[in-house]
Amino acid sequence: MPWLSLLLFLPWFTLLGALFWWFPREPRTSARRAFDTLTLLLAFALSAIAMLWGHHIGVVQGDAGPIWRQVLAVLYAYGAFLAVLVLAILLRGSWLARRATKAESKAPHGLA
């Protein structure tokens, strides 16, 4: 039953993943595609693990109602997915800026 949480949030994860993939539009290199693909796979895998963990915590809490398992599963899954995407956005921004600086410094200067 914990997979219900992931099923319900899958459209939202797809939308966030698509926005992560599409923006910024440039530069779109093979290294960037590999980074984005690995990030999205990691985000999905960690959200599934966090979902199972949250559901287990909800089961262990005997005084909580039956809906609490699903609520915790969704909260943990969503938090893990967002944490991976935010970290990747921060890393990708600095990585792209560093690559742009390297490319700019290698460009021939003073073409006449």
- Taking every pair of Cα atoms in the chain, the longest distance, rounded to a whole number of angstroms, is 78
Distance CA 15, CA 57 (A): 28
Can you tell me the distance from the alpha carbon of 61 to that of 69, in angstroms, rounded to the nearest whole number?
Answer: 9
Q: Is 112 a residue whose pLDDT tops 60? A: no
Predicted local confidence at residue 33, as pLDDT? 92
CB count in 10 Å sphere of residue 4: 14
- Tens-digit pLDDT profile for residues 35-93: 999 999 999 999 999 999 998 998 888 787 788 888 889 999 999 999 999 999 999 88
Cα Rg of the chain, angstroms: 19
Residue pair 4/70 in contact (Cβ under 8 Å)? The answer is: yes
The Cα 30–Cα 25 span in angstroms is 13
Q: Predicted confidence band at 107 (pLDDT cuts at 50, 70, 90)?
A: low
On the question of pLDDT at 108 being above 80, the answer is no
Q: What is the pLDDT of residue 45?
A: 96
Could you count the other beta carbons within 10 Å of the beta carbon of residue 52? 17
CA dist 40 and 54 (Å) reads: 21
Q: Is the pLDDT of residue 96 over 70?
A: yes
- Report field, pTM of the whole predicted structure over 0.85: no
